[in-house]
């Protein structure tokens, strides 16, 4: 009998020298319950009944101070049950290990996520959970904008009926007059465009709806204007259309167009007053720079939005990159699957798959709230995931949109369920003062990200990043000290400190092993 089981038996029966003076009267209902658990444990060849019996006896002893003897269950009988449990278990796990260690640990872990599970569907509902309400919005918007079913379900129809004026927006959403005044002021300085589909995700009864805040400029964007940093990467653009912060990775800014203009866009200075696809000469200069710099390995095609480019152009750029020997990885940056999912057509998927067969293609998207994931966008990501090597999300931490534990956990779990891997969370950039109202303190973001560890799936936890001349990690170190040769670490989910024996640095540096032994 292992130490865990000995401890369990001591809890149930008391120390070995402790004698029971008298057997208490047992309530009939409780006696019948224990008898049923006892019979199930005796008659079945499963481990579960033994766990149920021992757990119930432990609780009775703790709460009522009634030992198993009172039910006519001897220590010897329970010992046989304990050995039976261990024999049945494929890994030899003991009943004490389960009842006295594993189950309490699970119970403590459940307490950590109880608040999230209670509030996630009300504080941060996904577009899937809101789908019935979204469908009501769709019917209303289609009627107001006179959009038929075919146009609604087409990329061209969504762009043709895009909402790009205060008048159009106020027709489909009942906005207070004060907000309309603010919006009118803001749109004199900033372009507004959102697709009817994306507008249907907005919940009209929520003034600060997270989809509305991302797509409609507010007065703060005008009031916060100050000394803006140079346009993003103006000081990191070694060639036409190229941004380069790293020796082996660069970006081609292939267009300034997006299906929707985000109110927190890092490249807001590049949007301009009208949409542009650049000349063949511009693209060729960018590609020539890549051809001539053989250390470059990974190329991101972005904009704007890479999926706004015609299929022909996407195919040509990918083919040109595939023909360059030293290019091993390609990425495309897009929000299309959440703003206009019908753009993800069969031809585009075939282009992606064909290029991915030659060298890996990754699609990098930006989803900032679970509300942006609907059955339609989820299906778009599912189809994309079958054609590329990975679909990655780069969220931005934004005040009022995703700056709580519940909202960020829900976002990461929802996109993971939608074939998208949470990759980065960006702290909203300091470069653009007009976004100051969206910024969240670094420590707040750290608290949110650190809270994920031990509570949601590991590959649903993104890296927390700041953009400051490149991507700089913002995670805390969980190494908090040393004790002798051990490292002292802190579990981010509980704060518990644990010792972890480190490898000996001298032995690592100086001692050979295996075939290299002296």
Q: What is the pLDDT of residues 327-337, one digit of tens each?
A: 999 999 999 99
Q: How far is CA 160 from CA 141, 170, 187, in A?
A: 14, 18, 19
Q: How far is CA 43 from CA 47, 71, 357, in A?
A: 11, 18, 57
pTM above 0.75, yes or no: yes
Distance CA 418, CA 410 (A): 12
Distance CA 4, CA 10 (A): 10
Q: Lowest-confidence range among 186-190, 289-293, 342-346?
A: 186-190
**How much is the pLDDT for 228?**
53
**Is residue 264 within 8 Å of residue 214, measured between CB atoms?**
yes
Quick one: tokens of 201?
A: 């995700």
What's the whole-number mean pLDDT along residues 472-479?
89
Question: What is the C-alpha end-to-end distance of the chain, expressed in Å?
Answer: 45
The residue ranking higher by pLDDT, 21 or 307, is 307
Q: What φ, ψ does residue 464 adopt, rounded to 5°? A: -95, 125
Angle of helix 3-13 versus helix 75-88 axis, rounded to 10:
150
**Is residue 4 within 8 Å of residue 96, measured between CB atoms?**
yes
Percent of the residues in the chain that have a pLDDT greater than 70, as a whole number: 93
> What H or E segment, with its residue span, contains residue 426?
strand 421-427
**How much is the pLDDT for 475?**
87
Distance CA 216, CA 145 (A): 18
Residue with tokens 């029966």: 13
Burial label for 461, CB within 10 Å (0-12, 13-18, 19+), is: buried
What's the whole-number mean pLDDT along residues 409-426?
98
Binned at pLDDT 50, 70 and 90, residue 516 comes out as: low
> What H or E segment, with its residue span, contains residue 395?
strand 390-397
Pick from 463, 310, 307: nearest CA to 392: 463
Pick from 245, 244, 165, 241: nearest CA to 199: 165
**How much is the pLDDT for 231?**
53
**Is residue 267 within 8 Å of residue 315, measured between CB atoms?**
no
Q: What does the radius of gyration of the chain's CA atoms come to, in whole angstroms?
A: 30
The residue ranking higher by pLDDT, 182 or 224, is 182
Pick from 357, 275, 355, 264: nearest CA to 317: 355
């Amino acid at each position: 009998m292992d130490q865990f089981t000995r401890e369990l038996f001591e809890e149930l029966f008391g120390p070995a020298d402790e004698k029971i003076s008298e057997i208490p009267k047992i309530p009939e209902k409780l006696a019948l319950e224990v008898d049923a658990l006892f019979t199930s444990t005796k008659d079945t060849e499963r481990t579960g009944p033994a766990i149920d019996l021992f757990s119930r006896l432990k609780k009775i002893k703790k709460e009522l101070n009634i030992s198993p003897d009172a039910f006519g269950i001897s220590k010897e009988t329970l010992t046989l049950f304990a050995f039976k449990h261990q024999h049945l278990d494929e890994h030899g796990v003991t009943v004490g290990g389960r009842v006295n260690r594993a189950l309490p640990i699970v119970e403590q872990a459940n307490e950590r996520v109880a608040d999230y599970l209670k509030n996630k569907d009300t504080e941060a509902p996904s577009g899937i959970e809101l789908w019935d309400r979204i469908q009501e919005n769709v019917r209303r918007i289609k009627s107001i904008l006179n959009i038929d079913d075919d146009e609604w379900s087409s990329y061209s129809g969504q762009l043709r009926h895009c909402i790009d004026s205060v008048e159009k927006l106020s027709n489909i959403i009942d906005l207070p007059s004060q907000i309309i005044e603010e919006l009118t002021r803001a749109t004199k300085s900033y372009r507004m465009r959102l697709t009817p589909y994306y507008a249907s995700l907005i919940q009209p009864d929520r003034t600060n709806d997270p989809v509305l805040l991302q797509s409609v400029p507010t007065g703060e964007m005008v009031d916060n204007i100050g000394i803006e940093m140079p346009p993003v990467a103006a000081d990191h653009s070694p060639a036409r259309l190229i941004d380069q912060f790293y020796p082996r990775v660069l970006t081609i800014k292939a267009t300034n167009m997006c299906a929707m203009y985000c109110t927190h866009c890092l490249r807001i200075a590049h949007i301009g007053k009208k949409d542009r696809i650049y000349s063949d000469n511009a693209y060729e200069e960018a590609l020539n720079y890549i051809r001539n710099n053989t250390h470059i390995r990974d190329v991101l095609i972005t904009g704007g939005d890479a999926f706004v480019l015609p299929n022909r152009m996407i195919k040509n750029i990918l083919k040109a990159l595939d023909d360059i020997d030293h290019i091993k990885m390609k990425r495309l940056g897009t929000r299309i699957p959440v703003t206009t999912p019908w753009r993800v057509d069969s031809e585009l998927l075939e282009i992606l798959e064909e290029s991915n067969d030659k060298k890996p293609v990754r699609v990098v998207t930006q989803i900032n709230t679970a509300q942006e994931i609907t059955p339609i966008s989820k299906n778009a990501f599912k189809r994309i995931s079958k054609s590329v090597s990975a679909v990655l999300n780069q969220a931005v931490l934004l005040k009022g949109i995703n700056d709580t534990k519940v909202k960020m956990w829900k976002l990461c779990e929802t996109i993971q369920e939608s074939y998208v891997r949470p990759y980065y969370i960006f702290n909203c950039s300091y470069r653009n003062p007009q976004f100051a109202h969206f910024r969240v303190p670094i420590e707040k973001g750290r608290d949110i990200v650190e809270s994920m560890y031990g509570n949601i799936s590991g590959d649903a936890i993104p890296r927390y990043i700041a953009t400051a001349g490149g991507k700089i990690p913002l995670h805390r170190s969980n190494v908090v000290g040393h004790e002798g040769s051990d490292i002292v670490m802190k579990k981010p989910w509980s704060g518990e400190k644990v010792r972890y024996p480190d490898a000996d640095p001298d032995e690592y540096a100086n001692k050979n092993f295996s075939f290299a032994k002296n």
